A and B are shown apart, each in its own frame.
Chain A
Amino acid sequence: KQSDYQQPVVVDSVSQEAELNENKVTFLQDVTITQGSIIIHADKVVVLRHEKGNDEMIATGRPATFFQILDNGKPVNASASELRYQLKDRLVTLTGKAELKQDDNQVNGDVIRYDIQKQQMIAQSSGKGSRVKTIFLPQEIEEFNKAGKP
């Protein structure tokens, strides 16, 4: 939801290590990040604070998961070995067995770039024989056709 981005980001974990000189904090063991309706679960999360304010959260897990409720009330679920959340740009990059489900549609690939704001997604395969797979459900196809007719 739009209101998510005005919310504080809360990170819970068993332990955390901060390297103040590098503006880097590492959260370890059973990490949960929440920001409004956004929920990320991971084994480890590294928070990097950048000069220009585009802080990054790199979550790794088996897999790391991402959940958010959109303005239309529908959920988005994503998972991957690594999930990179750029807070200011509102970009989530899923790497390694990446999967994204929205409205029962599902996309799988090696890398999925998901622009939360624009609701746009770019899926890539690593080219080594694996391919991007997208599953559209009938209802979606109908709407697709309707939109196509003059």
Chain B
Amino acid sequence: MINRQTLLILLLFLVSLLAWQWSSQHDNQNTLLQKKDLSLPSFTASKLHNQRYSADGKLTDIFTADQALYYQHNKVTDAVHPVLQTFEPNGQKAWNVSANSGQMISNDRLILRDSVLIKNHNPALNIDRMQTSYLEMDMNSRQISSDKPVTIDSPDYHVQGVGLHADLNTKRYQILDKGHATYFKPR
């Protein structure tokens, strides 16, 4: 015969089992919800237009994108057709950097993918454009780098190679490997 005390203990055990199951299910849902939160952008913008200025009020660059998805938790903005237009201190357009897709990280680092194109707007420089499939850019120092094949074109030469370091401020670039330059018709 089960006496009353054992019955009570059994009942208590059953209730705590049910409570434990309910709370772990609840936690799972929470973590699922959180995960779901993180994968959702904090906000999305279409036709993003973001201008940055130097300390003395000069326009340094304009960042635009057809669409931008911003994730608060890691400060990353995924961008569709991102374009970065940079300006010389004298206000003249300098470089136009674009791609099919990209990410801006913490508002000063840019990763660009797929048909990356860097167009020169400074007529004094003997270079038209640089093209690659992947690029990383520090928007403050305007240093760019890629480990992918790259081509560089100007009115009188064509360069191809693998790997690029460039400093858009000092207007210097380095091809890291397999450099092949063709000077069309020497003047």
Contacts and interface: CB of A to CB of B under 8 A. Distances in A.
Interface residues of A, number: 26
Interface string B174-186: 1111111111111
Interface in A75-128: 87-88
A147 interface: no
B175 A15 contact: yes
Contacts of B184: 8
Given A10-B181, A49-B126, A88 B187 contact: yes
B20 interface: no
A41 to B, nearest CB: 15
A5 B186 contact: yes
Contacts of A23: 126
B165 to A, nearest CB: 9
B173 interface: yes
Contacts of B170: 21
Contacts of A12: 179-181
Contacts of B175: 15-17
Contacts of A47: 183
Interface string A4-44: 01101111111111111101010100000001000000000
A17 B172 contact: yes
B12 interface: no
A73 interface: no
B181 A11 contact: yes
A135 B159 CA distance: 42
Nearest to B171: A20
A25 B181 contact: yes
B146 to A, nearest CB: 14
Given A13-B179, A14-B177, A15-B176, A20 B125 contact: yes
A21 B126 CA distance: 9
A55 interface: yes
A53 interface: yes
Given A18-B172, A20-B126, A21-B171, A87 B159 contact: no
Contacts of A87: 186
B48 interface: no
A16 B161 contact: yes
Interface of A: 5-6, 8-21, 23, 25, 27, 35, 47, 49, 53, 55, 87-88
- List 9 A-B pairs, minimum CB-CB distance, nearest first: A53-B187, A20-B171, A16-B179, A9-B183, A87-B186, A11-B181, A20-B125, A13-B179, A17-B174
Given A9-B183, A23-B126, 17 more contacts: A8-B185, A9-B182, A12-B179, A12-B181, A13-B181, A14-B178, A15-B161, A16-B179, A17-B174, A17-B175, A18-B127, A19-B171, A20-B126, A21-B125, A21-B170, A49-B126, A88-B187
Interface of B: 125-127, 152, 159, 161, 170-187
7 contacts: A5-B186, A12-B179, A15-B174, A15-B175, A16-B161, A20-B125, A20-B172
